[in-house]
């Protein structure tokens, strides 16, 4: 039971940190894709959306290649800062970030696009700059859709398996999240030991999904 608790705590830590990072990047990308017109916009949209169409193991392999010691970038981080990202819990954060980014970005785009443009025009005529418009106008109006997107990203982060096992490994007490813990118990035929993790996973998913659907209804 103690090992299950450490798995749950690690999963929540990975999920929360990943969701925070994803939310920041997703909002910036969503704002650019909704509000700006520029050459290469299609390719930016395609690049952001790509992880959702690729096998998760391929996403994990890309991260392993990018941050591994055999790559120039990974070796640079290690030599200059002493940082080795692969097969650490932060590698699991990066995997969750990359696979959840498309979903959160799409949710944010819908929320931002739902704000009446006339309200923005009025806010600028009153002297508000872009940052103030986002803070005092866009976010309050679209908050339900934004929060729903954040929750969706958190759900996706907690359920991530394929990319995580490639770039972070399945190391008990270090990188073993709930999906990896369930996989390990299935592989070792520990049918009786598997249920606590299954129940926790179902409980978290049910609660977060309920909040997500409630916020979506409020946003309509």
Q: What's the pLDDT at 127?
A: 84
Q: What's the pLDDT at 2?
A: 53
pLDDT digits (tens, 9 = 90+) for 90-129: 999 999 999 999 999 999 999 999 888 888 888 888 888 8
DSSP string for residues in 81-115:
H----TTSHHHHHHHHHHHHHHHHHHHHHHHHHTS
Name residue, tokens 């391929």. 58
CA distances, 102 to each of 45, 75, 130, 157, 158 (Å):
9, 28, 24, 12, 16
Q: What pTM did the predictor assign?
A: 0.92
What kind of architecture, by CATH, is found in domain 2-219? Orthogonal Bundle (1.10)
201 contacts 183 by C-beta, under 8 angstroms = no
18 contacts 157 by C-beta, under 8 angstroms = yes
């Amino acid at each position: 039971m103690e090992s299950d608790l450490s798995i749950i705590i690690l999963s929540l830590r990975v999920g929360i940190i990943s969701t925070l990072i994803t939310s920041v990047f997703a909002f910036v990308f969503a704002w650019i894709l909704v509000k700006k017109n520029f050459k290469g916009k299609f390719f930016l949209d395609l690049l952001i959306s790509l992880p959702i169409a690729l096998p998760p193991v391929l996403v994990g392999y890309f991260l392993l290649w990018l941050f591994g010691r055999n790559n120039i970038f990974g070796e640079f981080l290690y030599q200059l800062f002493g940082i080795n990202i692969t097969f650490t819990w932060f590698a699991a954060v990066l995997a969750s970030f990359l696979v959840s980014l498309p979903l959160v970005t799409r949710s944010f785009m819908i929320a931002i696009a739902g704000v009446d443009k006339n309200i923005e025009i009025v806010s600028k005529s009153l002297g508000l700059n872009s940052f103030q418009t986002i803070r005092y106008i866009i976010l309050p109006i679209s908050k339900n859709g934004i929060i729903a997107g954040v929750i969706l990203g958190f759900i996706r982060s907690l359920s991530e398996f394929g990319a995580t096992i490639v770039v972070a490994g399945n190391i008990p007490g270090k990188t073993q999240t709930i999906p990896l813990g369930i996989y390990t118990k299935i592989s070792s035929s520990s049918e009786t030991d598997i249920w606590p993790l299954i129940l926790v996973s179902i409980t978290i998913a049910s609660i977060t999904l309920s909040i997500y659907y409630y916020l979506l209804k409020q946003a309509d």
